[in-house]
Chain A
């Protein structure tokens, strides 16, 4: 399955505070739009999609795949993206590509950093834990130095000492490192780009029971009867 047959792709990003979409042909031709606004992804998403479709002057029948930012991230946000992706892919009879959110963000960040530099992306999960991954720039792309995982907040200083840090873990924190950014989700064109680069063999035609990458198991707290 050659990914070039599945472009243009329509990408969707709703994993955190960005609600965005991109019609992506290749690195030189894409149409992207986003709004930064929490708690209204379901209302805004389709406006954003309509906008990029109009800019691209495309009909939905010309879209060949849906690339959805699949997590980790806000559970509700991820479900909005995945539900929209399923509805669209079902109606258009096209496949879905689930794009690892942190990798799309790493791809975006790698545009701005010199070869061999390393960086951390860390987003909040709950009160006490964080999503955490460490990357290194390697010929205009990135490799993992530490696989994506959930860590305890208390362990973060030790793990991130002297590192360049991205993600909403930076929120409300005095910035020691000027380069560090609170950017916590990829722009939609990087979700699409990740799919264009890595889509071969990852196209999902049977997405009936497909779920986002919640990463964190959901534990039901004891409810009092």
Chain B
């Protein structure tokens, strides 16, 4: 009798402690999660309509520079790389870090090129590498199109299609 009672109490204690441990571990895991402010800062909405053709603007997203460049009517469409908003305008939207060693390339509007000062890498208007050490085009950040704006950080259908084709 006595023994059974002790075994029963032991099981109750182990069960309670087990549940408490599970909850504590969950709470500890959650304290390490990115804060809500950090997460919302990780999804940046950018209105593209005020951009001017052939003029580079840069926004900061997740600690990295993102290049936004509106194409003029003379630029040949490139469906692999262009981001097309609802009004039909085409843009280059890329993470503005050289794929060689991460310097920030510069936009030379007169030559229609991005040039990297660090080791002389060059990219065309679609941010595809055309010269020098960069091994691949600049990366396209995850995006989704909302009318004439894009949300950086969210993988929309256009982004997924682009990734599947590349």
> Are A and B interaction partners?
no
